[in-house]
Chains A and B, each alone.
Chain A
């Protein structure tokens, strides 16, 4: 259920109206504090994430190797 807007002391009513008439509800800073739910991953997506994990290991090896050869 939508509740009445809470106002900060320094704001006047016209500013409140301006915000509510120009911004989409999801655009309000307060609305962004609401977390988006976790995605349920299916077969191909899980496969992609496993590929990423393997790639991550490869990437770590490359960066460490690069740092090692660079400091020699």
Chain B
């Protein structure tokens, strides 16, 4: 029997401000759905897209874009172009499950783990997510600081501007308005496309690489680390928590699942385009044999300037700022959602500050603290980024296993349980990503084991 169906007759109805805001959003969806014309179908799509695009473009964050830039600078056009697209296909498989979970249960991911699997796994997921998110947040501010540094903006001003933008996006206390503002900022992620065009790529090589996965890089520890970094750049735990909670906050229901899928695929297509464009954009560094070891955002832009011009380099730096900014917003919100869900506090972007004190406090405090840390003089920023990558890749297997168990939970899923083919696909992706996580862990503990692979 379905648990939610059994609850419908037992509850007392209490209506809150959050419900009213969500009801207004749903009324527009119902109105567009009732009309049935092509135009209203497009309007319905416009109303229902959001979480999928935001999560995918949000994951194209500062460290991810640097990882793609490093890929292009180290390996050029080749195997990694189709490989990056493959990682986004895996992200679609994983994120689609969160859409169904959110639409069927109207509950967030942290909440479901806590309630279905008990407090141990609930708190584990919460701590895991919080630590990973907080460290990632620091890296986003590092990216913003470095990107704006290219234009001569001092670090304190860069960090302050980022915090101001975060607060502005949330000031309306309306999910819908916040989502549209953040989508507008996230669209700037595509700024890497003109940068790629300015690098005058060899389109024949691009086509050949996409069709044949060649030239293949030499198999050694460096290649393995780039492979794992690119996986970590596309599928991370905060994405699961964010998209499910955003789907719930947006008010999506089972009728909207197909639009949620489209939203996820569209987001992945946009993010993959930006990621591939970044690899292409930094390929001139590979062609000119310029070492990009330990490059930060501003250094990539500076190194590219003589090759693609001042405008191209500026756009690259701007893209890094945007990547950090959008991730800063989505990751802070992901932490605040999870905190509210586990602590049973109101958690919605539709809440006025007075009713959502705990939710907004967590959100703002985390962002402010991460921003302050970035300003500490002499902080080993490169080391922080490295630890973030380790935690993100290692934390993925537990998150995926819980997602898989929940999406196959017939008591919860109420008719949108995964079909067999989808389960087979999800199993393959979960096993692949878990294997990648374990491999990454081994490469950290025993690097010499991997050195034997390529003699490095």
| Number of B positions contacting A (CB below 8 A) | 57
Interface members, chain A 1-32 (any B CB < 8 Å): 1-8, 11, 15-16, 18-20, 22-32
Instruction: Report the separation of the CA atoms of residues A8 and B299 in the bound assembly, to the nearest whole angstrom.
Output: 56
Which of B12, B116, B253, B383 gathers the greatest number of chain A CB atoms within 10 Å?
A: B12
B167 at the interface (CB under 8 A from A): no
Consensus secondary structure, chain A interface: helix
Q: Which of A6, A35, A62 contacts B115 (CB under 8 A)?
A: A35
Measured between beta carbons, the chain B residues less than 8 angstroms from A63 are 387, 390-391, 394
Binds A, one of B1-9, B193-201, B367-375: B1-9
Query: Residue B222 at the A interface, CB < 8 A?
Result: no
Contacts of B12 in A (CB 8 A): 3, 6, 30
Contact at B394–A59, with CB atoms within 8 Å?
A: yes
Cross-chain pairs A/B with CB under 8 angstroms, 26 sampled? A3-B13, A4-B13, A6-B15, A8-B15, A11-B20, A19-B20, A22-B30, A23-B23, A25-B7, A27-B19, A28-B16, A29-B18, A29-B19, A30-B16, A34-B11, A36-B105, A36-B115, A37-B115, A39-B411, A48-B401, A55-B397, A56-B124, A56-B398, A58-B441, A66-B387, A70-B386
Pairwise interchain contact A62-B16, C-beta atoms closer than 8 A? no
**Option from A3, A39, A59 in Cβ contact (under 8 Å) with B441:** A59
Q: CA separation between A11 and B16, bound complex, in Å?
A: 9
Contact with A along B9-29 (1 / 0, CB 8 A): 111111111111011101100
Min CB distance B431 to A, Å, is: 12
Tell me if B387 and A70 are in contact (CB < 8 A). Answer: yes
A4–B8 CA distance with the chains assembled, in angstroms: 14
Classify the secondary structure of B's interface with A.
helix
Residue B106 contacts which of A15, A19, A26, A38 (CB distance < 8 angstroms)?
A: A26
CB–CB A27/B22 < 8 A: yes
What 16 new A-B contacts, CB under 8 Å, besides A66-B390, A70-B380?
Answer: A1-B10, A3-B12, A6-B12, A22-B23, A24-B106, A26-B4, A29-B16, A36-B3, A36-B105, A36-B107, A38-B116, A38-B117, A39-B411, A58-B438, A62-B390, A65-B445
User: CA separation between A67 and B395, bound complex, in Å?
Assistant: 16
Residues of B within 8 A of A2 (CB): 9, 11, 13
Q: Name the A residues within 8 Å of B10 (CB-CB).
A: 1
Docked pose: A23 CA to B30 CA in angstroms = 10
Q: Contact flags (1/0) for B100-125 with A, using CB distance below 8 Å?
A: 00000111000110011110010010
Cα–Cα distance between A12 and B124 once the two chains are bound (Å): 43
